Chains A and B, each alone.
Chain A
Amino acid sequence: MYQYDAIDKTIVSERVSQFRDQVRRHLAGELSAAELQPLRLRNGLYMQIHAHMLRVSIPYGLLNSAQMRTLAHIARKYDRGYGHFTTRQNIQYNWPELADVPDILEDLSEVEMHAMQTSGNCIRNISSDQYAGVATDEIIDPRPYCEIIRQWSTLHPEFYWLPRKFKIAVTGATTDRAAVQFHDIGLEVVKSAAGEIGFKVYVGGGLGRTPVVGKVIKEFLPRDDILSYCESILRVYNLHGRRDNKYKARIKILVNAMGIDAFREQVEADWAHFKDGELKLHDTDFETMKAFFPQPAYEDLEDGDVRIDQWLQLDTKFADWYHNNTVEHRQPGYRIVNVSLKEHGVAPGDATDEQMDAIADIAEDYSFGEIRVTHEQNLVLSDVRQQDLLEVWKALDAARLATANIGSVNDMICCPGLDFCSLANATSIPIAKQINETFNDFQELYDIGEVKIKMSGCMNACGHHHVGHIGILGVDKKGEEWYQLTVGGDASNAAELGTRMGPAIAKDNVGKAVRDILDVYRDSREGEERLLDTFRRVGIEPFKERVYAEENS
Chain B
Amino acid sequence: MSTANRAIKAKPEALPDFLSEDLNNSKVVRLSGVDSNSMQHLAPGEALTLASLPAGEISVPLEFWLENKEELLNREARVALQLAGKEQAEDIVEQLNDIDMVVLTFVNFVDGRSYSDAYKLRTRLGFSGEIRAVGDVHFDQLGFLARVGVDAFELSDDEDHEYALKAFKEFSEVYQPSADGKPLIFSRRRVVH
Binding site for B on A (CB under 8 A): 5, 7, 10-11, 14-15, 17-18, 22, 35, 38-39, 121, 148, 151-152, 154-163, 210-213, 215, 227, 235, 238-244, 248, 252-254, 256-258, 273-274, 277-279, 281-282, 284-285, 288, 495-499
Contact = CB atoms under 8 A, between A and B. Distances in A.
Given A14-B171, A212-B5, A162 B112 contact: yes
A497 B138 CA distance: 43
Contacts of A211: 4
Interface in B146-193: 147-148, 170-178, 183-190, 193
B8 A238 contact: no
Contact of A288 (B11, B88, B189): B189
B8 A155 contact: no
B124 A161 contact: no
Name the 5 nearest CB pairs between A and B, nearest first. Answer: A161-B112, A157-B144, A157-B147, A213-B4, A256-B8
Contacts of B109: 38, 161
Given A39-B140, A161-B110, A238-B113, A256 B5 contact: yes
Contacts of A273: 123-124
Contact of B4 (A155, A274, A281, A497): A497
Interface string B54-66: 0000000000000
A10 B185 CA distance: 13
Interface stretch (B12-20, B24-32, B42-50, B93-101): B12-20
Contacts of B145: 157
A491 B174 CA distance: 35
A121 B109 CA distance: 12
Interface string B111-135: 1110111010001100000000000
A235 B116 contact: yes
Given A39-B140, A157-B115, A241 B124 contact: no
Nearest to B188: A7
B112 A160 contact: yes
B15 A210 contact: no
Given A11-B175, A22-B140, A285 B12 contact: no
A38 B138 CA distance: 13
Contacts of A18: 170-171
A238 B85 CA distance: 11
B25 to A, nearest CB: 18
11 contacts: A15-B171, A18-B170, A151-B185, A161-B109, A161-B115, A212-B4, A213-B1, A239-B88, A242-B12, A243-B14, A244-B15
B187 to A, nearest CB: 7
Given A11-B174, A38-B110, A39-B140, 13 more contacts: A14-B171, A121-B110, A155-B175, A158-B119, A158-B148, A238-B116, A239-B113, A242-B11, A254-B12, A256-B8, A257-B11, A273-B124, A279-B176
B14 A240 contact: yes
A10 B14 contact: no
A457 to B, nearest CB: 22
Nearest to B181: A278
B155 to A, nearest CB: 13
Contacts of A215: 5
Interface residues of B, number: 50
Which secondary structure dominates where chain B touches chain A? loop
Contacts of B193: 284, 288
Contacts of B15: 243-244
Given A7-B185, A235-B116, A253 B140 contact: no
Given A35-B138, A273-B124, A288-B189, A238 B174 contact: no
A18 B113 CA distance: 24
A278 B177 contact: yes
B185 to A, nearest CB: 6
Contacts of B178: 156-158
A235 B143 CA distance: 19
B3 interface: yes
Nearest to A15: B171
Nearest to B3: A497
A148 B119 contact: no
A13 to B, nearest CB: 10
B51 interface: no
B171 A11 contact: yes
A155 B174 contact: yes
A160 B193 CA distance: 31
A211 B4 CA distance: 7
A277 B182 CA distance: 12
A213 B5 contact: yes
Given A7-B173, A284-B190, A159 B1 contact: no
Nearest to A161: B112
Nearest to A288: B193
A157 B175 contact: no
A121 B172 CA distance: 24
A169 B1 CA distance: 21
A258 B14 CA distance: 14
B184 A242 contact: no
A253 B6 CA distance: 11
Nearest to A254: B12
A162 B172 CA distance: 24
B143 to A, nearest CB: 8
Contacts of A159: 112, 115
B184 A158 contact: no
Contact of A210 (B3, B8, B113, B183): B8
A499 B116 CA distance: 40
Contacts of B1: 213, 495-497
Nearest to A25: B139
Nearest to A18: B170
Given A158-B119, A238-B116, A17 B175 contact: no
Contacts of B6: 210
Contacts of A235: 116, 119
Most chain B CB within a 10 A radius of its CB, from A18, A158, A160, A495? A158
Given A241-B14, A499-B3, A11 B173 contact: yes
